[in-house]
Structure 1
Amino acid sequence: MTIDRLTRKDVVTATGDVSAADLARTMKERDVGSVVVVSDDRPIGVVTDRDLVLYVMATDRDPEEATARDLMSEDLFSVEAGDGVFAVMSRMADAGVRRVPVTEAGELVGVVALDDLVVLLANELGNLAAVIEAEMPPVTEVEP
């Protein structure tokens, strides 16, 4: 299965010059925990709600002065829409990230989150359990 089947297409984006205050307002309004920072429709970074807390609130920075470019992760990686689910999970685990931009030919098409992958795995485990249970012989009680 390719990652495009799990990709959330309604991704929240901002340019690098957007203030931390505006990012926080957008996250609240859109009920999201991250914003993908883009330049010419290409992802260049991600700012999370945690970034706002650690690098603005906890350091007493002015949220109107700090920008997305100041806060975004600089070691951003993205995955291609045609990449396999397990390859993406492995890359996310190696990088220690919960969300990753999904691109096609370098242009942003969505985001996939660890939560989406966990739900997929839980559903697949449920399906496997049902198959195993259907194939198991009935349990009989043994008298002592």
Structure 2
Amino acid sequence: MQVRDVMTTGCVTVPPSATLADCVTRMLMAGTGSVVIADDAPMGIVTESDVLVAARDIGEPLADIPARVAMSQPIERIEPAATVRKAAARMRDHGIKKLLVADGVETVGVVTMTDLVWHFSDFQREAGELAAEGRAWNHGT
């Protein structure tokens, strides 16, 4: 199974001038857990966790905290044709829960740990089918 099979297409963005209040508003409106800070290209990502940590550490109203202060950068990317196993490994290796999906230089979506969990039964079914095909091929049936 490939990333393109489980990713969310599109990307919720805010401009570099955004505050954390702007980020929270966009997340709530879009029903997502993150926004990408982007001008001409993605610069960083602000997640729900980033907002909470910044609110605790800075202690100012979210409307007074620039998003760029809390954003994670650089953004990790993956190709749509990559396997979900590769996506999970990259998330694990980098200690993150979200990857931008990029086709060349164009951002085409986001894949999250939640996406992988929601599709776990699909991965299991696909693995079983591949194993059955392998057994059939090895036995000449």
> TM-score higher than 0.5 here?
yes
**2:97 is equivalent to residue 125 of structure 1:** no
Deviation at 1:63, TM superposition (A): 1.8
CA RMSD of aligned residues (A): 2.2
Q: CA deviation at 1:85?
A: 1.8
d(CA) in 1 for partners of 2:60, 2:106: 32
Counterpart code for 2:2: T
Matches within 5 A, 1:1-144: 1-40=1-40, 42-125=41-124, 128=128
Higher helix share: 2
Unaligned runs of 5+ in 1: 133-144
**Aligned-partner residue type, residue 115 of structure 1:** T
Letter in 2 for 1:24: V
Deviation (angstroms), 1:82? 2.1
Secondary structure of 2:11's aligned partner: coil
> Under a length normalisation based on structure 1, what TM-score does the superposition of the two structures give?
0.78
Name segments (4+ residues, structure 1) moved above 4 Å.
none
Partner Cα separation in structure 2 for residue 61 and residue 107 of structure 1: 35
Question: Which one has a bigger Cα radius of gyration?
Answer: 1
Q: How many residues align?
A: 130
Q: Sequence identity of aligned pairs in percent?
A: 27
Q: Residues 33 and 49 of structure 1 are in contact (CA less than 8 Å); yes or no, is this contact kept in structure 2?
A: yes
Alpha-carbon distance, 1:31 to partner = 1.8
